[in-house]
Amino acid sequence: MSLIQRIDALLPQTQCGKCGHPGCRPYAEGLAAGEAINKCPPGGGETIAALAKLLHVPVIELDHERGRAPAQVAYIREAECIGCTKCIQACPVDAIIGAAKLMHTVISAECTGCDLCVAPCPVDCIDLLPLTATSNIVPIVGGLAEDTQTLEARSHKRNQARRRFEQRNNRLQREEARKQADRLARSQRAANATITTPGAAVDDPIKAAIERVKAQKAAAADTALKQAKIAAAMSRAQLSKARSAFGEAPNQAQQAQLAELEHEAQQAQARLQALQPAAANGHS
């Protein structure tokens, strides 16, 4: 194993970014180049000690300004999920499954507790629950493995998290390569379509310009419709959340807040309904 691989093997593989790098491997590369060993909150003192031993440097205190990383697992309140896929896109180890406009859920056994899915959620329906001794989920952070069995279980989970992270990155690279190939193919088809007989050469640029305008209008209508759907779903979720929080007998201030939320939800729904015919016409 190279030095970078040996360093990476000591890191918790949460890919949380608290160290200032976009993942554990980039931090390992920085450590190999002489970066400070105290930037990993999920690893804590255990990882600092292991890195100090490997790199032959003094043990130093964890940089607490980089936040905390307790043993935790993400949980999606599925009844409030609007299916926006933002958490799926944020998860570095593909531990969230679902599809657009459908409910999402977390694969608890694969979740590293990195908390990267929380901030992107537009309806705030993701909780980070602390792991307990009875949760049957192996914690990936440092300081919690006390015997050979738990050390081996955590090492296995870290290796699995690293593989899932690498597989996700490879998949995203393949998808981006396909998108670029598709864009190139479309450009080539458009270029070939303009090579016509001399008599039609005058008409083709005009037709192409008209088609481009139509495509731009359709794309703008689609974008506006998607934003309106998300806004309407968020308004409904906020109203439902407030109703649940205030109970069956809300006070006067709560009633006023509910009335305002209901008004906002009605406005959002009206905007959505107004945009739906326009979006349909944009595709016609």
The DSSP code sequence of 227-248 is HHHHHHHHHHHHHHHHHHHH-S
User: What pLDDT is recorded for position 204?
Assistant: 63
CATH architecture group of domain 3-66: Orthogonal Bundle (1.10)
Rounded-to-integer distance, Cα 246 and Cα 257, Å:
10
Phi, psi dihedral angles at 82 (to 5 degrees): -105, 5
User: What pLDDT is recorded for position 186?
Assistant: 87
b/e string for 53-83 if b means 16 or more Cβ within 10 A?
Answer: eebeeeeeebbeebeebbbbbbebeeebbbb
Amino acid at 222: D
Range 72-169 classified under CATH 3.30.70.20: yes
Give the SS3 label for residue 139. Answer: coil
Rounded-to-integer distance, Cα 40 and Cα 166, Å:
20
Q: Integer distance in angstroms from the first to the last C-alpha of the chain?
A: 59
Rounded-to-integer distance, Cα 29 and Cα 8, Å:
8
User: What pLDDT is recorded for position 102?
Assistant: 92
Note down pLDDT in tens along the chain; length 284 residues: 899 999 999 999 999 999 999 999 999 999 999 999 999 999 999 999 999 999 999 999 999 999 989 999 999 999 999 999 999 999 999 999 999 999 999 999 999 999 999 999 999 999 999 987 667 899 999 888 878 998 999 999 999 999 999 999 999 999 999 999 998 888 888 777 766 545 444 456 677 777 778 877 887 888 888 778 877 777 777 777 677 767 778 888 788 888 888 888 888 888 888 887 655 555 55
Residues 239 and 259: beta-carbon distance below 8 Å: no
* Whole-prediction pTM: 0.69
Rounded to whole angstroms, what are the CA distances from 147 to 8, 138, 144, 151, 208? 22, 13, 9, 6, 69
In 67-123, alpha helices (H): 86-90
User: What pLDDT is recorded for position 206?
Assistant: 73
User: What pLDDT is recorded for position 35?
Assistant: 96
Strands (E), the chain: 72-76, 96-97, 105-106, 126-130
Give the SS3 label for residue 223. Answer: helix
Rounded to whole angstroms, what are the CA distances from 73 to 20, 102, 111, 169, 190? 22, 21, 6, 22, 49
Residues 74 and 106: beta-carbon distance below 8 Å: yes
User: What pLDDT is recorded for position 202?
Assistant: 47
Angle at CA of residue 199, ends 194 and 205, nearest 5°: 35
Residue 81's closest CA among 16, 112, 130, 127?
127
Residues 10 and 43: beta-carbon distance below 8 Å: yes
Give the SS3 label for residue 76. Answer: strand
